[in-house]
Homo-oligomer: A and B are copies of this chain.
């Protein structure tokens, strides 16, 4: 293998990325981590073609670098290793916020190209032992190239997204990404933890169905990671939550209304939107 991909951070996503990228276009996948137990697990389970704790050496050889640390970890890593990247390398990340990361990547020298990314996949678990080779299957892969991004590097990122099984690659700006993700992902996590804060959670156990499981699965979240993700996107998230409170409030009003047709009309409106969304998703899955 003549080329090298360095995966920095073999956690849930980094480990999954390392597994999924093995065999991509004649690249060796090198897993980098500071934790010896993580490296040992990764080596024993062939999470990467090769593993090392020497980030500097891995970076000097890498044609492609995936930063798979927590947000603050990525910011710190970029500052510490700014001069260790190989000229001409593509550097990307997998972080759930983009504005803060793209800003931090400004420290990189001009001969290194950074394009932020966010494969929309994950589970409520963490750590390399929970990594999955098929983590990214059918997931959306968001990228935030800017006007200086080279078409070759964008195309390379797109080929990797396809290789790991993503359904599509969506381009947007860091700011727009963060506004969207506040709604489509972060708000779902705040809903899940808020539902679990109900004083009667344990008393009511044994009465939950799939709707409860689907809504609250992500409540068992990685606290340090999500504290960073929420904090780095607090304004957009707060706005999404304000809209949610208004929409729940409107349903509460309809519930209190003696005329059942008010509630029926609201449910007709909302459920029609969801069904329309389902149809759109089906269409995207079956092109042509």
A binding-site residues for B, Cβ under 8 Å: 120-123, 139-140, 142, 168, 170, 177, 180-181, 183-185, 187-202, 204-221, 223-224, 226-228, 230-231, 234, 237-238, 240-245, 247-252, 255-256, 260, 263-264, 266-271, 273-278, 280-281, 284
B247 in contact with A194 (CB, 8 Å):
yes
A189 in contact with B201 (CB, 8 Å):
no
Q: What is the interface of chain A mostly: helix, strand, loop, or mixed?
A: helix
A205 in contact with B280 (CB, 8 Å):
yes
Q: Which residue of B lies closest to A203 (CB)?
A: B180
B191 in contact with A223 (CB, 8 Å):
no
Instruction: Report the bound CA distance from A210 to B284 in whole Å.
Output: 17
Known: A221-B267, A223-B271, A230-B255. A191 touches B215 (CB 8 A): yes
Closest approach, in angstroms, between the C-beta of A67 and any C-beta of chain B? 20
What are 12 A-B interface contacts by the 8 Å CB criterion? A123-B210, A168-B206, A177-B207, A185-B209, A195-B247, A197-B273, A206-B284, A219-B271, A219-B274, A223-B264, A231-B260, A231-B263
